Structure 1
Amino acid sequence: MMASQGYNFENAYSPVPSCVPARAALLTGMDQERTGRVGYEDEVPWNFTNTLPKTFSDMGYQTECIGKMHVYPSRKRMGYDHVLLHDGYLHADRKYDKPYGSQFEYSDDYLDFLKNSLGHDTDIIDDGVNCNSWEARPWPYSEKYHPTNWVVSESIKFLQKRDPTVPFFLKMSFEKPHAPLDPPQYYFDMYMDRLPKKLDLHIGNWETLKDEIPGIYALRGKLKKDDERRMVAAYLGLITHIDNQISHFLTSLKEFRNDKDTIVWFVSDHGDQLGEHYLFRKAYPYNGSIHIPSFIYDPGNLIAAENHKIKQLVKIQDIFPSIVDLALNKKVKTDGKSVKQLLFGDYEGWRSNFHGEHSLGKDSSQYILTDNYKFIWFPVRDEYQLFDVQKDPNEKVNLINNSKYKPVVNDLTKKLIEFLKGRQEDFVIDGKLKKVPLNKIVATLDFVKNKHN
């Protein structure tokens, strides 16, 4: 409903698809070359000063984040007036040798709620489902204790207790559908009943797979059909659960008479590979990881634009300048661009491509996405892929060795070289892409770490 009645960005992407780099891009509007976050790494200080919430706070808004922040230190507010935190199971915080006040018991407000509700021997890992796994099972407690419900319940409390004399900026940050894949029973059963026995995993002409049982933390593998169905059913169930809880919040927004003076932007930090191409989790250059939902719901018609389906390439970096432009009618200097022009049918000067990447060991990738093609380079393996994104959205046919597409490959190689010139990993030597040893791959660029040494 929100996407169809609002403004739907059908080609929205998270260029560096995992929690830390994506949230840095959302918060600052900066590309990864400037945030320094080119992969996933915990416990690197977040010292960004020009942030989305700070901009609204400086303009007199009451700013609040409820749910996931995934910054470091965990309690850093990054410009919000106040934060109620639940980052999920963060490995970095789940260490008992950390200093008092920095362990997970002190950095997770939802966990405090759960323990106070169900007993202090209760924990978020009681059901044994891992936070980065294909394992799935229903949530073991009453639905009202689920973290998705908690985000909405606390958001409604914010509406009740906020300062009514100033406008508000609220970030409702759901940890789900991130693993552990544990929707309430109703939502799990909904999709177990609907899904076919065999799922289309988009297997094409390029995947390779070892004949072995995938571990519960595996990044790739082939599951038994029932395990595959359970994983997908749980993931889709978590999404529909969020849908219903957003409906709960929208009803409350109307009860507080804020439905006609509020715009809602729904977005995800990244997607997940759910067995497609035999891959799990995120951080890959394929659509399962990088293609994200992004749409604006505007029940009061405050924006009053003509275009409701936007097909241009937009990035998570565009949200910061866009919201500032739409809500405050102001410009902010970021790498992202305001989508306001697209909503009103002005496409002049809009991007026709962007550069994305992610450090992931031997699967580390660099890629260029255009309106028509995706060109991928795996620098550690020194392997290439090319997909026609219009004809082959499921990325099943690798065209890299098709002579017909040699001009496309040459052009996109040049573009990638331009993006990677001067990078510390030495991706480009003598004007050419060169294979990179694994020990040169980093998740955070040195200029960020050196700043804090």
Structure 2
Amino acid sequence: MKKPNILFIMTDQQRWDSLGCYGNSVIETVNLDWLASEGVVFENAYTSCPSCVPARASIMTGMHPWNTGILGMGKGQGPMGGGFQHTLPGELSNAGYHTQGIGKMHFHPQRLLNGFHRTLLDESGREEAPGFVSDYRQWFNRNKTGDYDIVDHGIDWNSWMARPYHAPEFLHPTNWTVNQSIEALKTRDPSKPFFLMTSFARPHSPYDALPFYFDLYLNKSLPEPDVGDWAGIHDVPEDAAKPNAWRGVRSQEEIRRARAGYYGSIHHIDLQIGRLLFYLEKIGELENTLIIFTSDHGDMLGDHNLWRKTYAYEGSAHIPMIVRLPKSLGKPSCKRIDAPVLLQDIMPTILEAVGAEIPETVDGVSLLGLIRGEKTERSYIHGEHSTCYSEEQEMQYLTDGKWKYIWFPRIGTEQLFNLTNGRDETINFVDSKDYSQELQKWRARLVAELSTRDSGLTEGDRLVNQSGKPYLISPKYRERLDTCEN
């Protein structure tokens, strides 16, 4: 039987509720909604470490963050280098696939292949090695129509500020990523099935949607931020004043512009994804291609007076995930699945779909069983993030899509949210007597999850406050570095 091709489409920093198929009635995502109508929507997909590098490490390896050794992007954490025994593109290369990655990879060093045969990079503003210039920036400089650079509009890569894109549409990185993806399909090895990872650098800030999309959403009625009864702790004017603020209250007009730029960027991405799907259809490969769409993490967009990512809250940790099967794998038994799933499930899903062996290092679980209508043994998922913007935001969390429990190790506080009454997380039930048993259940689950690490996070049946203690570092990180150096 002919092996299916694989198209893995990934956005950067796209929250779960920013697609029509997830119930957003404002945003226009026709192509992804079409993909969802022919595939499966995972309603409770989460990132187990909600920032770029650790999330992508889990995608590339199928491993939990503790086992990749990358627990965030803050203190004690290094970049996503090599040294992984097994990677998704590496296993597919070994299985006879022609593997290409286009767009944002976030590897270190940046030209590291991590198992791909070839990459073409848009690394946004990152130039981590002397002399490194991304493929996108090189192309931009060759084709620009004036004396300007990729972000001369003045908005930084992690800012809450927004404005329309400053250069002609054809120069936008979203267009470049799809143009290069189509070219990769045209020039692939025709004797092999392909694995193409199309990885967009947006809607991650800067919120610089093209003028057409920016104006379209600025004139629409956009959802207001969710602000919990507990969120006053993040109303800190001195933090909010920073152009790259991670927390703080900005004006309604500023928040509206941020959301217009963000929504507009997603609409733009959706139309470009349509071009890629139509090209697959044109060359007769659409029905023989497994297509997976997801994002590495979300974006708070002012929810609970927070910006950016790294948090356990829905805007940051809950992500979209759509799977469309090739014809050879038959039709799914379920169109919408509410079982909790993770980014590290993508690697075993793809490997099972192509008949390749799943390495023992993989922690994730193939999603094909759920798609076939089978039950899963997983009743909840675990996520975490080390210190990044502030010590108080280091967190551990658990959720089953109905409840969410969050523990902040460095300040010793907890939150408990009932998600069945809405995803806004505006009421913290941790002090409610009516939910004391629920709280105890989730706390015990986290103790059980962390007790196997022997990292000082637990003692007996209790969680241990980490205030003043050294930053948490997984021993797996050092082990992998030693492997690389040897």
SS at 1:281's partner residue? coil
Q: Say if 1:22 and 1:303 are closer, same or farther in 2 by CA, change over 3 A.
A: farther
Q: Counterpart of 1:341 in structure 2: which amino acid?
A: G
* 1:8 counterpart = 2:44: no
Q: Deviations over 1:63-121 (max 9, x none)?
A: 0000111111111101000010112122xx35xxxxxxx23x52411011011112796
Q: Say if 1:214 and 1:267 are closer, same or farther in 2 by CA, change over 3 A.
A: same
Q: Cα offset for 1:297?
A: 2.6
Matched residues in 2 for 1:186 and 1:298: separation?
Answer: 33
SS at 1:416's partner residue? helix
Q: Counterpart of 2:52 in structure 1: which amino acid?
A: C
Task: Identify which range, 424-433 or 259-268, moves more after superposition.
Answer: 424-433
Q: Counterpart of 2:421 in structure 1: which amino acid?
A: K
Contact 1:85/1:107 (8 A) holds in 2? no
Contact 1:8/1:308 (8 A) holds in 2? yes
Q: Cα offset for 1:259?
A: 1.5
Matched residues in 1 for 2:248 and 2:371: separation?
Answer: 42
Q: Say if 1:141 and 1:424 are closer, same or farther in 2 by CA, change over 3 A.
A: farther
Structure-2 residue corresponding to 1:143: 169
Aligned residue among 437, 441, 459 for 1:429: 459
Aligned residue among 320, 326, 337 for 1:293: 320
SS at 1:172's partner residue? strand
Q: Cα offset for 1:34?
A: 0.7
Matched residues in 2 for 1:392 and 1:219: separation?
Answer: 24
Q: Deviations over 1:241-291 (max 9, x none)?
A: 110000011111122221121121101000010000110000000000111
Structure-1 residue corresponding to 2:8: none
Q: Cα offset for 1:329?
A: 6.2
* 1:132 counterpart = 2:168: no
Contact 2:67/2:476 (8 A) holds in 1? no
Structure-2 residue corresponding to 1:99: none
Structure-1 residue corresponding to 2:19: none
Matched residues in 2 for 1:250 and 1:166: separation?
Answer: 19
Aligned residue among 175, 181, 201 for 1:175: 201
Q: Say if 1:69 and 1:120 are closer, same or farther in 2 by CA, change over 3 A.
A: farther
Matched residues in 2 for 1:23 and 1:194: separation?
Answer: 33
Gapped runs of 5+ residues in structure 2?
A: 1-33
Matched residues in 1 for 2:175 and 2:469: separation?
Answer: 43
Aligned residue among 55, 63, 67 for 1:22: 55
* 1:382 counterpart = 2:425: no
Q: Cα offset for 1:438?
A: 4.8
Matched residues in 1 for 2:322 and 2:402: separation?
Answer: 22
Q: Counterpart of 1:193 in structure 2: which amino acid?
A: N
Q: Cα offset for 1:414?
A: 1.3
Matches for 1:33-44 after TM superposition, within 5 Å: 33-40=66-73, 41-43=77-79
Matches for 1:295-310 after TM superposition, within 5 Å: 295-298=322-325, 300=327, 302-310=329-337
What TM-score comes out, normalization by structure 1 length?
A: 0.92
Q: Deviations over 1:188-234 (max 9, x none)?
A: 111001135xx522112211123554311111111111110110000
Matches for 1:332-347 after TM superposition, within 5 Å: 332-333=359-360, 334-347=362-375
SS at 1:390's partner residue? helix
Matched residues in 2 for 1:3 and 1:182: separation?
Answer: 27
Q: Counterpart of 1:29 in structure 2: which amino acid?
A: G
What TM-score comes out, normalization by structure 2 length?
A: 0.86
Q: Say if 1:275 and 1:370 are closer, same or farther in 2 by CA, change over 3 A.
A: same
Task: Identify which range, 260-269 or 300-309, moves more after superposition.
Answer: 300-309
Structure-2 residue corresponding to 1:204: 228
Matched residues in 2 for 1:120 and 1:194: separation?
Answer: 33
Identity among equivalent positions (%) equals 36
Structure-2 residue corresponding to 1:243: 270
Q: Counterpart of 1:34 in structure 2: which amino acid?
A: N
Matched residues in 1 for 2:402 and 2:212: separation?
Answer: 40
Q: Deviations over 1:360-419 (max 9, x none)?
A: 322111111124311111111111110111113111110001111111111111111122
Matched residues in 2 for 1:272 and 1:80: separation?
Answer: 28
Q: Deviations over 1:14-68 (max 9, x none)?
A: 0110001100110111111211111114545331121111111111110000011
Aligned residue among 32, 47, 56 for 2:65: 32
Q: Cα offset for 1:425?
A: 5.1
Contact 1:313/1:352 (8 A) holds in 2? yes
Matched residues in 2 for 1:331 and 1:34: separation?
Answer: 16
Matched residues in 2 for 1:126 and 1:439: separation?
Answer: 42
Aligned residue among 109, 112, 130 for 2:138: 112
Contact 1:16/1:32 (8 A) holds in 2? yes
Matched residues in 2 for 1:232 and 1:365: separation?
Answer: 26
Matched residues in 1 for 2:97 and 2:146: separation?
Answer: 37
Matched residues in 2 for 1:264 and 1:151: separation?
Answer: 17
Q: Say if 1:225 and 1:145 are closer, same or farther in 2 by CA, change over 3 A.
A: same
SS at 2:201's partner residue? coil
Structure-1 residue corresponding to 2:300: 273
Matched residues in 1 for 2:398 and 2:314: separation?
Answer: 13
Contact 1:263/1:297 (8 A) holds in 2? yes
Matches for 1:295-334 after TM superposition, within 5 Å: 295-298=322-325, 300=327, 302-328=329-355, 330-333=357-360, 334=362
Matched residues in 1 for 2:352 and 2:324: separation?
Answer: 16
Q: Say if 1:415 and 1:325 are closer, same or farther in 2 by CA, change over 3 A.
A: same
SS at 2:449's partner residue? helix
Contact 2:338/2:401 (8 A) holds in 1? no
**How large is the RMSD of aligned CA atoms in angstroms?**
1.9
Task: Identify which range, 116-125 or 16-25, moves more after superposition.
Answer: 116-125
Matched residues in 1 for 2:476 and 2:193: separation?
Answer: 37
Q: Cα offset for 1:331?
A: 4.0
Q: Which has the higher contact order (CA 8 A, sep 6+)?
A: 2
Structure-2 residue corresponding to 1:189: 215
Q: Cα offset for 1:145?
A: 0.7
Q: Say if 1:34 and 1:120 are closer, same or farther in 2 by CA, change over 3 A.
A: farther
